[in-house]
């Protein structure tokens, strides 16, 4: 293996760029595909983004999830084709061209020419594709850009036509008028989920308008309230609730009579006198009070049904003879807003349309007043406001009604209102002719197919998506736009003869014209001769909603069914898809609708849904506000691996929100990658040391993975590795990435802080050649397995390590990249594995508790202590601690002796604590009022009774038996404070107790001096840049005439084995240093240990004589 840089000198981003070069040299992605060719396919659908914008953190998150899952699938024996896709049609592209060309309205496009407009759109669809490819490549994501799919490709568009043709043949398509969210800026309808993307709080005008009833004895007017005055010229009806109580009231000042919902009388100014400051002031000044409105009568809303009223405007007054301008009943009227009287303009409200159709105010196929053009301006039908945009006309309409005396109240209201997500202009709701898919006809099948899928997290499927499907309406799939896949519908002028085209060949056959492109400007002029004598059939000028196109992606990317028919049908549904939470109403929905309509199957088996990434302040990331760091800058600072792991190890993978913080990415490098890298570096250094010391070549051997290794820590890390592999496979097979990363991070922490830390001396050769070889091969095997397991998550760092690790493999196996290696197979954990895991975990608890006791008593670890006593009732554990694990506990706690004790009362007090919930659950009804007495008796158990309970595994209290297996009684142990008088102190975690003997003497003090001396030497070695394979001679001296020199000499001599074991030799006095010794480094500083305090000088030289045995590695 090659030497490696120190962690502080290892530049993760720069090294990642070297790995990218390596992958290019290996042609790694294609090579992986070649190696897995013929394996069972793993089918993955990549949702197509628009290339008219740059990738953001949301894209990088989804891309990381997709890359991890597909890499894992490939490394577990599947063949995973990965094609990038581009969404090329629709409003995002048109909106950019509108801005570029100054397009203001639909007529501007027609004047320019659809051909020129569409070619302008085509020219920018891949505007940022190079930036996308560069960023995705830098992220480490392996995906095919050369063989990508685009929704503008003729092959893709032809498959979309086939999909539509299938729906038509199944009777799932119809044309109708429907009130839809409508962007007047973009001159097109939007889907409901698009309309829900951009709500804003705005101030809109509101008016309360009087509609005069015909033939009313009191000349009453119904009062209706609205925040859309521009819809009033199209009013055809008024609606009230049939069962709610309405009142007819008279204004004593004007004599006017009004009808409103009783609960909403306060909406009439002055109807209900208000007791406020102004009223009190009037009383004080003896001004006459306004008389309250007189209630003439009360009645249910059904009594108003059928009454007629005078139209506010003359534009559609002729429809009164056909049943318009009439009061209707419907239960959608609410009493929590307005006046309880709703004005209906059926062309501009979904409920308005429904009510007016149900009550005969308008008829299907009849006249529907809709005096608003494609750009949101009034037509000549509304002559007084013709040419005015509806929102601009609000003030003019209000002014006109005021002159008529029809405005009872007016003002402005702040409320939440939908805006176009592209143009950022207010939407309106408008009835438009559209082609629909009958989603309601297949709703039961949608729910059944959704039940067959597996989502992570599951609640998104079971709640959010299920509810969306359950409430789904028919889907308006046509848009009155230009740049998109044209609807393949040719119809006669009367609409009675319709031909739906399902392929390019069919169009060529029926028109007699060669067709090379399916966009509007290539086919709009084509006509099909009528078979019914109706002249020629012309194409409906609509294009598909781009969501229909993206939902057709499983078929379009494969040009199905014209090509790849067998492959698609034998590998459908897909194994996996992943996108953001917002796609529950977008791509996930359209995939499910179309697959259900076509094949009565879900489109996918498994889905991972991620949440939204916000700025650190909790706000939406905004380029304008600059409230987030540039993604490319973050990658260049910390590396793609760090960003990937930060995102995957966060709540966002559980469909929750993440407040992105750059410090979190930095922490991944510091807390995960550097310790992991340092463990790898430690291996490499000590392999070189071992080779230098033995003259042999290190090679990986089978013993590294043998569960019967002699050393307990080798067996423990091998068992831990096997358990990690099993866990990762289990969780990844369930697509639960959020469970995998914390476990991987924990493993790295245990590897570095337990295995490497506790075995530093063994790895350096303190136990001899064979023991060092065993430790090195164990660490090698662990790191190699960890690289293979972590490769999908951190592809760069694992590749960097693997390339060096494979140099010492037994033979060249041809796996030139870690990403060509399989993730190791799972193995069922043995009883030995479980036992060693538990024992080491308990040992670690002993060490951590011992450190706490030292800190509490101000006894630094460098100060040796006489002994530690481990108290536990489990003899098997105590045997492990006193046997194989003894050396690790003694070294980590720096104690001379370790003793065990299975008699807790020797060092501790015990008390029993009842678990009230568990006892109540089992015995609540039986014990009744005795519950308090029983729990009190449990608390009162003495130490001997508790010991007997633990020995016999049960105890009877007040006639009730309690068994240990039920865990209804917890036994807590605490250190016996009386023992502190003997210089003992202890602490525990309930079952385990650790006791330290804090008494010190001269021999212990000398041990502390020796340890501190060794520490100074090691620090100097590190400062000098020496590595394990650099032999040196070590000399030292203290200030001349100091009596501390003898103390130091005595400490080094009395602990010669320890000093030699760490430094590789016993340092000599400077008096023994040859005159020609070649200096490497020297340092003079203060050495303090206990009562010793002296000026120490340490000198390192090139090897000279018998002092040249130092083959040590700097600590830390």
Q: Is 652:613 a contact under the CB 8 Å cutoff?
A: yes
Q: Is 57:613 a contact under the CB 8 Å cutoff?
A: yes
Q: Which listed residue (547, 676, 690, 716) is catalytic?
A: 547
As a whole number of angstroms, the distance between CA 41 and CA 571 comes to 8
Q: Which listed residue (46, 49, 55, 87) is catalytic?
A: 87
Q: Is residue 859 flagged as an active site residue?
A: no
Q: Is residue 133 flagged as an active site residue?
A: no
Number of other CB atoms surrounding residue 699 within 10 Å: 14
Structural tokens at position 541: 């000028």
As a whole number of angstroms, the distance between CA 799 and CA 819 comes to 8
As a whole number of angstroms, the distance between CA 343 and CA 360 comes to 16
Q: Which listed residue (142, 162, 435, 587) is catalytic?
A: 587
Closest CA to 843 of 826, 861, 868: 868
Length of the chain: 1116
Q: Strands 173-183 and 427-437: what pairing?
A: antiparallel
**Strand-pair partners of 250:** 257, 294
Q: Where are the alpha helices (DSSP H) in 791-915?
A: 795-805, 831-856, 875-882, 886-893
Closest CA to 187 of 415, 489, 394, 483: 483
As a whole number of angstroms, the distance between CA 747 and CA 727 comes to 11
Residues 6+ apart with CB under 8 A from 491: 497, 498, 499, 537, 538, 540
DSSP one-letter string for 330-374: -TT--SSSTTSEEEE-GGG-HHHHHHHHHTTSS-TTS-----B-T
Q: Is 125:52 a contact under the CB 8 Å cutoff?
A: yes
Q: Which listed residue (620, 670, 897, 917) is catalytic?
A: 620
Q: Is residue 587 flagged as an active site residue?
A: yes
Closest CA to 664 of 628, 706, 702, 700: 628
Residue 795 CB-half CA count within 13 A: 29
**Strand-pair partners of 203:** 414
DSSP one-letter string for 133-179: HHHHHHTT---EEEEEEETTSHHHHHHHHHHHHHHHHTT-EEEEEEE
Q: Is residue 87 flagged as an active site residue?
A: yes
Q: Roughly how many angstroms between the first and final C-alpha of the chain, as a whole number?
A: 22
Phi-psi map region of 468: left, alpha, beta (phi>0 left; psi -120 to 50 alpha): alpha
Residue with tokens 């790898």, as numbered in its chain:
680
Q: Is residue 619 flagged as an active site residue?
A: no
Q: Strands 294-300 and 144-150: what pairing?
A: unpaired
Q: Is 1013:1085 a contact under the CB 8 Å cutoff?
A: no
In order of 82, 1061, 1095, the CA distances from 45 in angstroms are 8, 59, 70
As a whole number of angstroms, the distance between CA 731 and CA 733 comes to 5
Residue with tokens 């919930």, as numbered in its chain:
917
As a whole number of angstroms, the distance between CA 715 and CA 840 comes to 10
Residues 6+ apart with CB under 8 A from 633: none
Residues 6+ apart with CB under 8 A from 622: 615, 628
Closest CA to 942 of 957, 920, 964, 959: 957
Q: For 659-679, give one letter per residue: b (16+ CB within 10 A) or e.
A: ebebebbeebbeebbbbbbbb
Q: Which listed residue (32, 46, 48, 1018) is catalytic?
A: 48
Residues labelled catalytic: 48, 87, 547, 583, 587, 620, 623
């Amino acid at each position: 293996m090659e030497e490696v840089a120190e962690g502080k000198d290892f530049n993760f981003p720069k090294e990642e760029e070297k790995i990218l070069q390596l992958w290019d040299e290996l042609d790694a992605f294609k090579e992986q595909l070649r190696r897995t060719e013929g394996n069972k396919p793993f089918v993955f659908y990549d949702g197509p983004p628009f290339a008219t914008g740059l990738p953001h953190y949301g894209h990088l998150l989804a891309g990381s999830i997709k890359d991890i899952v597909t890499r894992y699938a490939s490394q577990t024996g599947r063949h995973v084709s990965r094609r990038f896709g581009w969404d090329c049609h629709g409003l995002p592209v048109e909106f950019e061209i509108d801005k570029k060309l100054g397009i203001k309205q639909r007529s501007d496009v027609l004047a320019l020419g659809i051909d020129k407009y569409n070619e302008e759109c085509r020219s920018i669809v891949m505007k940022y594709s190079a930036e996308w490819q560069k960023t995705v490549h830098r992220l480490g994501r392996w995906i095919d850009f050369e063989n990508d799919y685009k929704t503008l490709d003729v092959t893709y568009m032809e498959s979309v036509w086939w999909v539509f043709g299938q729906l038509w043949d199944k009777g799932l398509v119809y044309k109708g008028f429907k009130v839809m969210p409508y962007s007047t800026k973009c001159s097109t309808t939007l889907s409901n989920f698009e309309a829900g993307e951009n709500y804003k709080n705005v101030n809109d005008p509101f008016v309360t308008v009087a509609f005069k009833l015909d033939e009313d004895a009191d000349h009453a007017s119904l009062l209706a309230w609205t925040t859309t005055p521009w819809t009033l010229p199209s009013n055809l009806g008024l609606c009230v609730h049939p069962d709610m109580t309405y009142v007819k009231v008279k204004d004593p000042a004007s004599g006017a009579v009004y009808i409103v919902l009783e609960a909403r009388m306060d909406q009439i100014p002055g109807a209900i006198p208000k007791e406020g400051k102004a009223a009190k002031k009037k009383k004080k000044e003896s001004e006459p009070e306004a008389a309250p409105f007189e209630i003439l009568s009360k009645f249910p809303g059904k009594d108003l049904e059928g009454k007629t009223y005078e139209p506010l405007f003359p534009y559609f007054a002729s429809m009164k003879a056909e049943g318009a301008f009439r009061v209707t009943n419907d239960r959608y009227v609410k009493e929590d807003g307005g006046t309880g009287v709703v004005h209906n303009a059926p062309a501009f409200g979904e409920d308005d349309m429904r009510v007016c159709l149900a009550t005969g105010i308008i008829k299907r196929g009849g006249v529907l007043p809709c005096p608003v053009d494609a750009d949101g301006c009034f037509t000549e039908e509304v002559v007084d406001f013709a040419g005015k945009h509806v929102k601009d006309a609000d003030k003019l309409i209000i002014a006109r009604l005021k002159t008529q005396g029809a405005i009872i109240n007016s003002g402005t209201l702040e409320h939440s209102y939908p805006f176009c997500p592209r143009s950022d202009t207010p939407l309106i709701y408008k009835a438009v002719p559209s082609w629909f898919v009958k989603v309601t006809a297949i709703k039961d099948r949608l729910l059944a197919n959704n039940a067959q899928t597996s989502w992570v997290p599951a609640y998104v499927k079971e709640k959010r998506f299920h509810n969306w499907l359950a409430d789904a309406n028919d889907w308006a799939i046509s848009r009155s736009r230009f740049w998109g896949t044209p609807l393949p519908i040719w119809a006669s002028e009367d609409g009675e003869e319709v031909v739906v085209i399902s392929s390019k060949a069919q169009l060529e056959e029926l028109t007699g014209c060669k067709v090379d492109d399916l966009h509007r400007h290539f086919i709009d002029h084509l006509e099909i001769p009528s078979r019914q004598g109706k002249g020629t059939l012309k194409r409906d000028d609509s294009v598909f909603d781009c969501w229909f196109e993206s939902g057709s992606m499983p078929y379009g990317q494969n040009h199905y069914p014209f090509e790849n028919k067998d492959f698609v049908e034998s590998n459908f549904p897909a194994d996996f898809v992943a996108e953001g939470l917002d796609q529950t109403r977008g791509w996930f929905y359209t995939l499910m609708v179309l697959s259900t309509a076509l094949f009565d199957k879900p489109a996918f088996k498994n889905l991972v849904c991620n949440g939204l990434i916000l700025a650190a302040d909790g706000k939406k990331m905004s380029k304008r506000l600059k409230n987030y760091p540039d993604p490319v800058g973050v990658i260049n600072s910390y590396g793609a691996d760090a960003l990937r792991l930060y995102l995957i190890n966060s709540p966002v993978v559980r469909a929750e929100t993440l407040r992105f913080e750059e410090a979190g990415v930095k922490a991944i490098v510091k807390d995960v990658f550097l310790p992991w890298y340092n463990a790898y570096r430690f291996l490499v250094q000590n392999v070189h040391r071992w080779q230098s010391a033995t003259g042999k070549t290190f090679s990986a051997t089978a013993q590294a993975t043998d569960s019967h290794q002699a050393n307990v820590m080798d067996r423990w890390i091998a068992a831990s590795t096997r358990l990690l592999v099993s866990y990762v496979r289990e969780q990844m097979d369930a697509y639960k990435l959020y469970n995998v990363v914390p476990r991987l991070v924990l493993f790295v922490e245990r590897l570095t802080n337990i295995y490497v830390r506790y075995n530093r001396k063994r790895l350096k050769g303190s136990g001899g050649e064979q023991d060092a070889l065993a430790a090195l091969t164990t660490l090698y095997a662990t790191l190699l397995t960890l690289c293979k397991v972590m490769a999908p998550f951190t592809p760069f760092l694992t590749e960097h390590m693997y390339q060096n690790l494979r140099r010492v493999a037994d033979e060249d196996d041809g796996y030139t990249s870690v990403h060509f290696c399989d993730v190791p197979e799972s193995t069922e954990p043995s009883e030995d594995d479980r036992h060693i895991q538990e024992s080491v975990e308990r040992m670690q608890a002993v060490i951590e508790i011992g450190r706490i006791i030292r800190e509490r008593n101000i006894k630094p670890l460098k100060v040796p202590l006489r002994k530690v006593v481990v108290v536990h009732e489990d003899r098997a554990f105590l045997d492990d601690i006193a046997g194989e694990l003894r050396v690790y506990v003694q070294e980590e706690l720096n104690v001379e002796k370790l003793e065990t004790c299975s008699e807790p009362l020797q060092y501790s007090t015990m008390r029993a604590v009842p678990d009230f919930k568990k006892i109540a659950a089992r015995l609540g009804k039986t014990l009744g009022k005795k519950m308090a007495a029983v729990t009190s008796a449990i608390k009162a158990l003495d130490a001997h009774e508790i010991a007997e309970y633990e020995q016999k595994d049960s105890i009877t209290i007040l006639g009730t038996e309690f068994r240990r297996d039920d865990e209804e009684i917890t036994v807590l142990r605490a250190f016996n404070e009386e023992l502190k008088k003997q210089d003992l102190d202890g602490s525990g975690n309930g079952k385990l107790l650790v006791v330290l003997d804090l008494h010190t003497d001269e021999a212990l003090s000398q041990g502390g001096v020796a340890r501190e001396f060794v520490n100074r030497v090691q620090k100097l070695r590190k400062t000098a840049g020496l590595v394990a394979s650099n032999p040196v001679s070590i000399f030292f001296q203290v200030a001349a005439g100091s009596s501390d020199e003898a103390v130091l000499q005595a400490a080094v001599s009395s602990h010669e084995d320890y000093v030699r074991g760490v430094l590789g030799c016993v340092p000599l006095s400077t008096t023994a240093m040859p005159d020609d010794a070649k200096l490497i480094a020297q340092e003079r500083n203060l050495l303090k240990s206990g009562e010793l305090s002296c000026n120490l000088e340490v000198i390192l030289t090139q090897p000279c004589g018998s002092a040249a045995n130092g083959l040590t590695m700097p600590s830390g």
